[in-house]
Amino acid sequence: MRAKEFQLEKSQVSILESFPSASAILNESGDVVVTNSEWDQKSASGFLMDSPVQKNFFAHCRSAAENGSDDALKLILGLRRVLDREEESFQSTYSINNKKIPKWFRVNIKPFEETGAVLFIEDISGNIKVFQELRDSKEKYRQQFDHSINGIIIGTSEGGILDANPAACKILGYSIRELKEGGRKLIMDERHPLNIEALKTRQETSFFEGEKQYIHKTGREISVMVSSVIFRDQDCGLTTINSFRDITKEKQIQKKLKSEQGFTRTAIESIPGTFYVLDSDGTFLQWNEAFYYDLGYSEEDMFSMKPIDFFVEDDQELIAKKLILAVDEGSAETIARVKTKDGDVRNFKLNARSFTNEKTTYIVGTGVDITKLVEAQTASDRHYKLMSQLFENSPLGIVMIDQENRINRVNNGFRRMFGYKNGDVVGANVNDLVTDNGNRKEADDVSRKAFNGSASQFESVRYTKDGNKVPVLLSTVPVSCGDKVIAVYGIYVDLSPQKELEEKITHLLERERSAREKAQNSLKEKEILLQEVHHRVKNNLAVVAGLLDLQLLVETDKEVFKKLSEVQSRIFSIAKIHETLYQEENVVHIRFNSYLKSFINFLPQQGFHNEIISELSLNCDETVLNLNQAVPAGLMINELINVLLPDSGKGNLMLELKSDKKEVTVSLSGKGLKVQIFMENMKSEKFQYKLVDILTDQLNGRIDVDIDKSLVKVCFLKNEAKGSSNAFFS
């Protein structure tokens, strides 16, 4: 009996042995891998031909087919369909001549596990012989009929039962009379899928061979294997002969076998990590799905690979030795590096055991991925080395003490800070070394609190071996194991340089504070003086504007009146800037939107009343300008209004101020404005136009004119301009 591809337990092999017919398990290639004793005995007596069955069932049948056996060809096709899972089962009969005596066999093929098939061969020569002898002799027929171990029922095609042998009555639990009276409906549910298929096949071919479902007198279902033939009798009526045997126990055994195999497979798949079974040659016989999901290998890979192929090249010799050790001594274990399908390398803890079954040695083993554990251990070792280097090389003084304040470990920083050598301090009480009577109690209290789990940090004083005082920042760090503090780290930072620096800084801060107070007082005085300057400039300009206003009151010449008004508006635009600066805290920056509002409110005083413009509106963003940009910007807007407003007739004026962080845009638009005239005279030498051009240049701006929209727009960049605000030429 061979068991390479399928590993069956002894109980499972016993179940296979219990089958009354020759039975075998085939793998997906058609190799006969497991057989029972019935198979071994009958394989030499004539399965298809007078020679033992070859290891490969396809090859065996192919030889018979080449010698002209149609039955062998039919078996090849049927087995292939079952192995490919195109059909759930296959049945066929065939005959052979053994010493001129024909023998009949029935073959049943069903799927086994995921890729194999189980094959039953039953000698049905007796049944066939009954049918043959029935035609030759009623006596012979009756003897066979009555004494056949298979149940035989003779009936009509309509479902009536004409006769039944004792075996049929025994299998079904009914008497002959009951069967004749009840007919086919008494023993068979015609709606059952198996029975529907059987009736359909027999109607089409006059013959059916396969599984059906009968009903026992007690009501339980009976699985039977039936050979059913329909033929015409001597009266030309249709008669059926059904020969059947109870296969309920066989199906139960098969179901149990499948269940046990499923349980075994489930148990194997539940094993953490990889699981495998090898033969003595190192060939994989069985494995779990961890090879697919954890390592990425396919089923095809597993069939083509040897155990050492899974390991990095440096570990392959070690694995080969461990496999030999497992066979020789029964077990072996090791840690090795496993390659995944995509090239990653994982660390695995491997265990292997060997066992012998029917003189064949097998190796069963497991592998657990410990990559994270190895990485964690490596990281822990590296962390310990880094901490040790940090401890030894730290410029801070560090000691580790036990519950009695004895020093267990000390670094170079502590020895340098307090002037001790290693032999002077290890084992000594740390507070005996670096404290005096004045702060000893404080030090002992800190140690006690640390061993109670309370960390602390404070400034204090400690003493060197020579008695010199050292100001320190002391930190205590408890080290716990479970709920218990087993040690405490004391960390000392020498504050001597810091204290010296603090004294110097305190002295410098005093000097700086005094200087800052003087500077602030001086700055305050300058701001007050500058505000007073703005106030006086504003007042002086207001006086000049007032004088011009008096002159305008008595002036009768309209042309002179207009010129004086223009001069007055220029003076007023500058005065308004100084007035705005005087009223605000910042004396060098002006809120230009506020300036424009006050400037526009003054326009009616200049004579721009309803006779010239019927509507005057202002739309401003909040804009802050440097004084040296605000003055030319204010004058430029004043001049634009002077040149754009109509000489007579009603119009309107919209003044807009828009700005962002970088640019300022001033727009003048409205009905009746002299935009066309302005565009024609932009580059002329007329004073007002020349003045607009000069002021725009001073602002580094540009003028855009849109006649269709009656719009003049000036854009310039914000700039902290330096120099005199009335320096018109750059």
DSSP letters, 566-597, are HHHHHHHHHHHHHHHHHHSS-SSEEEHHHHHH
Q: What are phi and psi of 46, to 5 degrees?
A: 130, 55
Report whether pLDDT(603) > 80. Answer: no
DSSP string, 158-170: TS-EEEE-HHHHH
- Per-residue model confidence as pLDDT tens digits over 519-550: 676 666 666 666 666 666 656 666 666 666 66
Give the residue-averaged pLDDT of 511-524: 73
Longest dimension (CA), the chain: 164
pLDDT by residue (tens digit) across 428-478? 888 888 898 888 888 889 888 888 888 888 888 999 888 888 898 888 989
Dihedral sign, CA of 245, 249, 255, 261? negative
Confidence of residue 395 (pLDDT cuts 50, 70, 90): confident
Across 42-46, 127-131, 541-545, 603-607, the highest mean pLDDT is recorded for 127-131
pLDDT surpasses 60 at 151: yes
Which helix (H) or strand (E) covers residue 13, if one does? helix 10-18
pLDDT of residue 354: 87
Kindly indicate the confidence band of residue 728, based on its pLDDT and cuts at 50, 70 and 90: very low
- The answer, yes or no, to whether residue 208 has pLDDT greater than 70, is yes
- What three-state secondary structure class fits 632? helix
pLDDT, position 135: 60
Task: Give the span between the Cα atoms of 23 and 445, in whole angstroms.
Answer: 88
Q: Is the pLDDT of residue 508 over 60?
A: yes
Write phi, then psi, for 242 (nearest 5 degrees). -115, 115
Confidence of residue 372 (pLDDT cuts 50, 70, 90): confident
**pTM check: above 0.75:** no
Residues 6+ apart with CB under 8 A from 416: 397
CA distance 450 to 166: 97
Determine contact, residues 162/156, Cβ cutoff 8 Å: yes
Q: What is the 3-state secondary structure (H, E, C) of 458-513?
A: EEEEEECCCCCEEEEEEEEEEEEECCEEEEEEEEEEECHHHHHHHHHHHHHHHHHH
Please report the DSSP string for 24-40 in residue order.
EEE-TT-BEEEE-HHHH
Lowest mean pLDDT among 206-220, 249-263, 296-310, 678-692: 249-263
Q: How far apart are CA 399 and CA 411, in angstroms?
A: 7
pLDDT, mean of residues 698-722: 86
Q: Does the pLDDT value for residue 143 go beyond 50?
A: yes
3-state secondary structure of 537: helix
Residue with tokens 């310039």: 716
344 versus 571: which is more confidently predicted?
Answer: 344
pLDDT band (50, 70, 90) for residue 612 = low
Where residue 169 falls among pLDDT bands split at 50, 70, 90?
A: very high
- Cα separations (Å) of 474 from 253, 388, 389, 411, 417? 81, 20, 21, 15, 13
Taking Cα atoms as reference points, which of 573, 572, 553, 647 lies closest to residue 608? 647
- Strand ranges, E, within 124-249: 151-156, 161-164, 207-215, 221-232, 238-246
**Mean confidence (pLDDT) of the chain:** 80
Shortest CA distance to 326 belongs to which of 306, 355, 349, 305?
355
Q: Once rounded to an integer, what is the mean pLDDT over residues 343-347?
A: 89
8-state DSSP, 429:
B
Q: Are strands 651-659 and 613-620 parallel, antiparallel or unpaired?
A: parallel
pLDDT in tens, 25-74: 888 888 888 888 877 776 544 555 445 666 788 888 888 788 877 888 88
Looking at residue 19, its pLDDT comes to: 76
pLDDT one-digit tens code per residue, 280-332: 777 888 888 888 888 888 888 888 888 888 898 888 889 888 888 888 888 89
Instruction: Quote the CA–CA distance of 474 and 488 in Å, as a whole number.
Output: 12
**What is the band of 175 on the pLDDT scale with cuts at 50, 70, 90?**
very high
Q: What is the pLDDT of residue 42?
A: 62
pLDDT of res. 173: 92
Confidence of residue 148 (pLDDT cuts 50, 70, 90): confident
Task: Count the Cβ atoms, other than its own, within 10 Å of residue 279.
Answer: 13
The more confidently predicted of residues 727 and 429 is 429
Asked whether the predicted pLDDT for residue 383 surpasses 90, the reply is no
Q: Which of 223, 234, 190, 236 is nearest to 108 (CA)?
A: 223
Alpha-carbon torsion (321, 323, 328, 334), positive or negative: positive
Determine the Cα–Cα distance for residues 672 and 689; give it in Å rounded to an integer.
19
Q: Give strand pairing partners of 241.
A: 154, 229
Report phi then psi at 20, rounded to 5. -75, -10
> What pLDDT, on the 0 to 100 scale, is given for residue 726?
44
Nearest to 644 by CA among 633, 655, 629: 655
Q: Which of 99-113, 167-181, 255-269, 421-435 has the highest mean pLDDT?
A: 167-181
Q: How far is CA 34 from CA 14, 40, 253, 361, 604, in A?
A: 12, 11, 16, 17, 119
Instruction: Specify the pLDDT at position 53.
Output: 65
